[in-house]
Amino acid sequence: VPADELAACVDALLGNVFAHTPEGVSFSVRLEPAEGGALLTVADAGPGFATSDPLQRGASGAGSTGLGLDIARRTAESAGGSLSLRTSAAGGAGVILFLPAATS
Protein backbone atom coordinates (compact mmCIF):
# COMPACT_ATOMS: atom_id res chain seq x y z
CA VAL A 1 0.00 0.00 0.00
CA PRO A 2 1.48 3.37 -0.92
CA ALA A 3 2.28 5.48 2.14
CA ASP A 4 -0.22 8.22 1.27
CA GLU A 5 -3.07 5.70 0.88
CA LEU A 6 -2.19 4.00 4.16
CA ALA A 7 -2.08 7.39 5.88
CA ALA A 8 -5.54 8.26 4.50
CA CYS A 9 -6.85 4.88 5.66
CA VAL A 10 -5.54 5.27 9.22
CA ASP A 11 -6.75 8.88 9.29
CA ALA A 12 -10.25 7.74 8.28
CA LEU A 13 -10.35 5.02 10.94
CA LEU A 14 -9.11 7.30 13.72
CA GLY A 15 -11.39 10.09 12.47
CA ASN A 16 -14.32 7.70 12.92
CA VAL A 17 -13.33 7.03 16.53
CA PHE A 18 -13.11 10.75 17.32
CA ALA A 19 -16.30 11.61 15.43
CA HIS A 20 -18.52 8.81 16.70
CA THR A 21 -17.52 8.19 20.30
CA PRO A 22 -18.06 10.45 23.29
CA GLU A 23 -15.06 12.39 24.53
CA GLY A 24 -12.96 10.40 26.97
CA VAL A 25 -14.01 6.99 25.65
CA SER A 26 -11.10 4.59 25.44
CA PHE A 27 -9.82 3.24 22.14
CA SER A 28 -6.88 1.21 20.90
CA VAL A 29 -4.83 0.95 17.76
CA ARG A 30 -2.83 -2.21 17.28
CA LEU A 31 -0.51 -3.31 14.48
CA GLU A 32 0.69 -6.90 14.63
CA PRO A 33 2.20 -9.47 12.31
CA ALA A 34 -0.13 -12.05 10.81
CA GLU A 35 0.46 -14.97 8.51
CA GLY A 36 1.16 -13.46 5.11
CA GLY A 37 1.03 -9.83 6.24
CA ALA A 38 -0.12 -7.65 9.11
CA LEU A 39 -3.30 -6.84 11.01
CA LEU A 40 -4.26 -3.28 11.88
CA THR A 41 -6.99 -3.19 14.51
CA VAL A 42 -8.81 -0.06 15.65
CA ALA A 43 -11.28 -0.65 18.47
CA ASP A 44 -13.20 1.57 20.87
CA ALA A 45 -15.54 1.45 23.84
CA GLY A 46 -18.12 3.71 22.20
CA PRO A 47 -21.67 2.98 21.08
CA GLY A 48 -20.66 0.69 18.21
CA PHE A 49 -21.89 0.94 14.64
CA ALA A 50 -24.98 3.09 14.08
CA THR A 51 -26.28 1.09 11.14
CA SER A 52 -26.72 -2.58 10.31
CA ASP A 53 -24.51 -2.15 7.22
CA PRO A 54 -21.73 0.27 8.16
CA LEU A 55 -19.81 -0.56 4.97
CA GLN A 56 -22.54 0.87 2.73
CA ARG A 57 -20.89 3.86 1.08
CA GLY A 58 -22.53 7.18 1.88
CA ALA A 59 -24.87 5.90 4.61
CA SER A 60 -23.32 5.99 8.08
CA GLY A 61 -26.47 6.25 10.16
CA ALA A 62 -24.51 8.55 12.46
CA GLY A 63 -24.80 11.87 10.67
CA SER A 64 -21.59 11.60 8.66
CA THR A 65 -20.72 10.88 5.04
CA GLY A 66 -20.15 7.17 5.60
CA LEU A 67 -16.96 7.29 3.55
CA GLY A 68 -14.36 6.45 6.24
CA LEU A 69 -14.92 2.70 6.32
CA ASP A 70 -15.20 2.65 2.54
CA ILE A 71 -11.79 4.33 2.25
CA ALA A 72 -10.30 1.76 4.62
CA ARG A 73 -11.96 -1.16 2.81
CA ARG A 74 -10.79 0.04 -0.61
CA THR A 75 -7.25 0.53 0.69
CA ALA A 76 -7.09 -3.01 2.05
CA GLU A 77 -8.69 -4.59 -1.00
CA SER A 78 -6.45 -2.70 -3.44
CA ALA A 79 -3.48 -4.41 -1.79
CA GLY A 80 -5.14 -7.83 -1.83
CA GLY A 81 -6.23 -7.57 1.81
CA SER A 82 -9.55 -7.24 3.58
CA LEU A 83 -11.52 -5.30 6.15
CA SER A 84 -13.77 -6.89 8.75
CA LEU A 85 -16.00 -5.38 11.40
CA ARG A 86 -16.83 -6.67 14.83
CA THR A 87 -17.94 -5.58 18.25
CA SER A 88 -14.86 -4.71 20.28
CA ALA A 89 -14.06 -6.39 23.59
CA ALA A 90 -15.27 -3.16 25.26
CA GLY A 91 -18.61 -3.34 23.41
CA GLY A 92 -17.92 -0.62 20.83
CA ALA A 93 -16.78 -0.76 17.25
CA GLY A 94 -13.90 -2.91 16.06
CA VAL A 95 -12.31 -2.64 12.63
CA ILE A 96 -9.68 -5.13 11.49
CA LEU A 97 -7.65 -4.53 8.34
CA PHE A 98 -5.56 -7.36 6.92
CA LEU A 99 -2.75 -6.01 4.77
CA PRO A 100 -0.73 -8.63 2.89
CA ALA A 101 3.05 -8.57 2.86
CA ALA A 102 4.58 -6.77 -0.12
CA THR A 103 5.77 -8.98 -2.93
CA SER A 104 8.73 -8.13 -5.07
**What pTM was computed for the model?**
0.84
Please report, for residues 4, 17, 56, 61, 65, the alpha-carbon distance to residue 30 in angstroms, rounded to integers and kept in the order given. Answer: 19, 14, 25, 26, 25
What SS3 state is found at 104? coil
Convert the pLDDT of each residue in 71-83 to its tens digit. Answer: 999 999 999 999 9
**Which residues are bridge partners to 34 per DSSP?**
37
pLDDT at residue 77 in the model:
95
Say if residue 58's pLDDT is above 60: no
What SS3 state is found at 58? coil
Rounded (10°) CA dihedral 67, 13, 82, 62:
-50
Convert the pLDDT of each residue in 28-49 to its tens digit. Answer: 999 999 999 999 999 999 999 8
Q: How many other C-beta atoms lie within 10 A of the C-beta of residue 21?
A: 18
pLDDT at residue 45 in the model:
96
Structural domains of the chain in order of their starting residue, each with its CATH number: 3-100 (3.30.565.10)
